[in-house]
Amino acid sequence: MAGYRAPHPQRPQIRRIAHRQTQTARVVGLVLMWGIIALVALAADRAIPREHLPWKPLALVDPIGAATRIKAARTGEDPAACRDVLKQGGVEFVEVAARTSGFCDVHDAVLMEAGMAPLSPRDAPMTCKQALAVSLWERQVVQQAAFDTFGQAVVSIDHYGSYACRRMYGQDDAPVSQHATANALDVAGFRLADGTVISVQKDWADAGPKGRFLRRVRDGACKVFLTTLSPDYNAAHHDHFHLDMGGRAKCA
């Protein structure tokens, strides 16, 4: 019959061979891709400082890096790991009893006693992840900036509180504040070894070393805490830095 073509007896076999070749090529491609990824990861693991690698464990001795905030947030969610990092970093603390009052709920909290510049007042209970972030910031940002700018250490960090059972801005219809879970710290200023006081309220607009120091520690806080708010954010923060590990990611 005109136009009729008999089926090729080898066509099904050719299809099977082609299918196997395609599958083999995909497997080989995946193996090569993961092999390249593994080699790149191995090279990065050896060549890139640990503070930039999210899979490396967090340590208080590490400088601030690209992965610091991620690692601090992740480590802080594990109570045992959080405390281990504090202990290995030489930070002494005591446990704070859990408390619940209305919409305020504090658990997994500690009170730092030694191993960093003391907080003033000393009664500043914080969740372990917040305490971890504060310790890291004090050691790798605040002290470094103080020595670079003034040639001396910060011996005290003045603050307005960590725990307060309230809503944001004290308004009844506002969201619950991170302070209501002891997951925040409001820093008002710093005291140097020679007695010099650096105040967020008085020195933020300073064009000299005090102002440069405050902006440097604010910028460094943004690489550690999830939320960092300064006088640049709004009038409510004209006299302090709000630092927390539970809010939305924001640096202002």
Q: Is this prediction's pTM over 0.85?
A: no
| pLDDT at residue 171, as a whole number | 84
| pLDDT at residue 247, as a whole number | 77
Q: For the residues of 4-23, what is the DSSP string, one character each?
A: --PPPTTHHHHHHHHHHHHH
Query: Which tokens hold the place of 60?
Result: 């208080």
Residue pLDDT, tens place only, 211-249: 999 999 999 999 999 999 999 999 999 999 999 999 789
| pLDDT at residue 45, as a whole number | 55
CA 18 to chain centre: 52
Q: How far apart are CA 172 and CA 95, in angstroms?
A: 31
Count CB neighbours of 106 within 10 A: 21
Which residue ranges in the chain fall short of pLDDT 70? 1-12, 18-19, 25, 27-47
Q: For residue 214, what are the contacts with CB-CB under 8 A and spacing of at least 6?
A: 198, 200, 203, 204, 206
> Is 109 in contact with 126 (CB distance < 8 Å)?
yes
> Is 3.30.1380 the CATH classification of the domain at 90-251?
yes
| pLDDT at residue 92, as a whole number | 98
| pLDDT at residue 210, as a whole number | 98
